[in-house]
Amino acid sequence: MSSVSCRPGSSEIEISKSEWAFFFIVSRGLRKGQGVAADNAFWERISHLPHPAMTPLSAPYDLLVGGVGGTGVVTVGQIITMTAHLEGKGSSVLDFMGFAQKGGAVLSYVRLASQPIELNQVRIEAGQADAMIACDMVVASSQKALNVLQPTTRIVANLAELATADYVLYRDADMQPSKRLNMLREAVGDARFASLDANRLAEQLLGDTVFSNMMMLGFAWQQGLVPLSEPALQRALELNGVALEKNRQAFAWGRLAAVEPDYLQQHLDTMPLSANATLDDVVARNGRHLERYQNCAWAERYVTQVTKVREVETALKGGQSLSEAVAHQLYRLMAYKDEYEVARLYTQSDFLDEVKATFSGDYQLTFHLAPPLLGGRKDAQGRPVKRRFGPWVLKAMGVLAKMRGLRNTALDPFRFSADRKLDRALLANYEQLIDELVARLDGTNHATALALAKLPEEIRGFGPVREAAAEKANKRRETLLKELREGRSKTIAVEAA
C-alpha cells in the first residue's frame, strides 16, 4: 500500500515497501517533469510528416470525444470547434459532464460542417458517429458512447487505465481493459481502430500526463479523424493560451506516434507491459526481473515451470488462461519482497534518481524500519513497531543487497523468521501444485485447475494479515484439490471462485 500526504510549504511522501520498511521524504516542493527537449531536429522531422487524407465536409461530420473531467478532455472539443470557426466552417460542441465535473465521465459531441447552416442540432444521433477519440477507455466503452458508433466509425483509443471509484471500494476491482478495448475494436473492425498509451508517453516525453489528451488529438488528426487544417489547429492552440509550447509538442508527438512509433521508442525509458501484452511478453519481463532479484538459475526455474503448464494446455487446445495464471502467480511467489529485495530496490534501482528528479530543494530522507534481526516490540495487531533511521542506512542496505546470494541457504540470517518460512512454504506448495496440474489436466477439469492456479491472488499484506490470508487460501486449496483428484468437472467450489 502507498499513501501520499502533503502539508503547506512542503511535500511529504510515504511509500510502504515491506512489512518492516518504509520511508518519508520531506521537501519544499515537487519538481516538475521536464520530458524530452523539442529541439530543431525534432521540429524538422515534424515538418516532413505526411499530411493525412481528409474527409470532405460534403455532409455534417460527427466526432465523439470521451474522457474524464479535469484532464483537459473538454478542451479538446473546444480546440476542434474553434479551429472550424477559424476556417469559416460550421461547428458545435455539446459536453455531457454530469454532476462530477472533475473525475467524472465526459462525452463531448462535436459536429462539423462546411457551413453553420448545415448544423440543425448539436447532439450526435445513435449510429451516426464518423469518428471517436477515446481519451478514456471506461467512458468510451460505456453504453451511451457505444450507441453512437456505426460500422464505419473510426476510433483512436488511449490505453491508459485511469482509476475509478471501484478501486477505492473493492480491492479486487478490475476495469477489464482488454475486454473494453475489444468491444471498441469489434464495433468497427481492426482496420478502423488504433490505440496509443498516451498517458505514459505524455509523462515521459512531456513530463506530465495532463498533455495526454492533446497527444490523442494529434494522433487522431494525423490519421484523418479531424478534417481540419493544421495551421488553423495551431492558431486555436495559441488562442487557448494555456501551456502553448507543451501543447504544441503534445500534438506533434501524437502525430509522430501515428506515423513513426519506432522514433518515439528511442526517447522512452523501459515501458511497463501494456494491457495487450502477450504471455511471451509477461514471461520474458518476469524472467528478467527474477534474474536481477536472485540469479539466472532462479529465472530459469520460473520459465521452466510456466513452460510445463503451457505445453500441456496447448496440447489440450484449451487456450492459455491457465498458463497466464501460473505465469502471474508463480512470479509473485518467487519475487516476494524480503529483506534482500527491499535493500536492492532502495540501492540498486532508480530509487535515488527518482527522488532527485521528483523533489526540489534540500529534502530530508528518513527510513522507518523494523529489522527482524534487531528484535523489538510489536503493536496490538502483532506487527513489529518501526524505528526511525537516517539516510546513512542506505550504506547498510547496499551491503545487504549484495548478500542476496545467501537467500534460502544455510547462511541466510533471515531464514528462521516466520515471514520467510511462510514465503518458502507458499512457493514449495505452489510448485507441487503445478506438478499435479500438469499430471492431471484434461478437457474436463480445466476450470478447477484454473481456480487452483489463481489461489495466491488472495494472499496479500504482511505479517498477521498475510498469515491469515494464507491459511484461508490453504483451506480452499484442499477443497479444490479433492475435487480435482475425484474428477469432478464442475463444482460448487469452482463456481464460487
Contact 346, 366 (CB under 8 A): no
Residue 12 in this model has a pLDDT that exceeds 80: no
Q: Which pLDDT score is estimated for 6? A: 32
Contact 26, 232 (CB under 8 A): no
Q: Per-residue pLDDT tens for 229-286? A: 999 999 999 999 898 999 999 999 999 999 998 888 777 755 555 556 789 989 999 9
Q: Which pLDDT score is estimated for 337? A: 87
Half-sphere exposure of 71 (CA within 13 A, CB side): 30
Cell triple for 446:
480445466
pLDDT band for position 471 (cuts 50, 70, 90): very high
Higher pLDDT, 362 or 203: 203
Residue 9 in this model has a pLDDT that exceeds 50: no
Higher pLDDT, 371 or 25: 371
Higher pLDDT, 330 or 4: 330
Q: Which of 359, 338, 461 is closest to 406 using CA atoms?
A: 338
Contact 158, 275 (CB under 8 A): no
Q: Average the pLDDT over each of 42-46, 84-88, 410-414, 458-462 and give the range with the smallest value.
A: 458-462
Taken in order 306, 308, 312, 314, the sign of the CA dihedral is positive
Residue 166 in this model has a pLDDT that exceeds 60: no
d(CA 91, CA 122): 9
3-state secondary structure 73-89: HHHHHHHHHHHHHHCCC
Please report, to the nearest 10 degrees, the dihedral formed by the alpha carbons of residues 232, 235, 237, 239 taken in order: -130
Query: Which domains, ranges and CATH numbers included, belong to the chain?
Result: 51-265 (3.40.920.10)
d(CA 260, CA 197): 15
Q: Per-residue pLDDT tens for 272-314? A: 555 567 899 899 999 999 999 999 999 999 999 999 999 999 9
Highest mean pLDDT (candidates 99-113, 330-344, 387-401)? 330-344
Q: Which pLDDT score is estimated for 15? A: 39
Cell triple for 490:
464442475
Contact 407, 423 (CB under 8 A): no
352-355 contact pairs (CB < 8 A, 24+): 352/394, 355/25
Q: Per-residue pLDDT tens for 337-392? A: 888 998 888 887 777 777 776 777 777 788 887 777 776 677 777 677 788 888 88
Q: Which pLDDT score is estimated for 149? A: 96
Residue 170 in this model has a pLDDT that exceeds 70: no
Q: What is the CA radius of gyration of the chain?
A: 27
Helix axes 321-334, 279-293, angle to 10 degrees: 10
Residue 80 in this model has a pLDDT that exceeds 70: yes
Q: What is the mean pLDDT of residues 458-473?
A: 87
Residue 78 in this model has a pLDDT that exceeds 80: yes
pLDDT band for position 13 (cuts 50, 70, 90): very low
pTM, rounded to two decimals: 0.62
Q: How far is CA 141 from its chain centroid?
A: 18
pLDDT band for position 8 (cuts 50, 70, 90): very low
Q: What are phi and psi of 132, to 5 degrees?
A: -140, 135
d(CA 377, CA 379): 7
Q: Which pLDDT score is estimated for 384? A: 73
Q: Per-residue pLDDT tens for 121-139? A: 999 999 999 999 999 998 9
Residue 50 in this model has a pLDDT that exceeds 80: yes
Q: Which pLDDT score is estimated for 30? A: 56
Residue 326 in this model has a pLDDT that exceeds 90: yes
Contact 481, 439 (CB under 8 A): no
pLDDT band for position 403 (cuts 50, 70, 90): very high
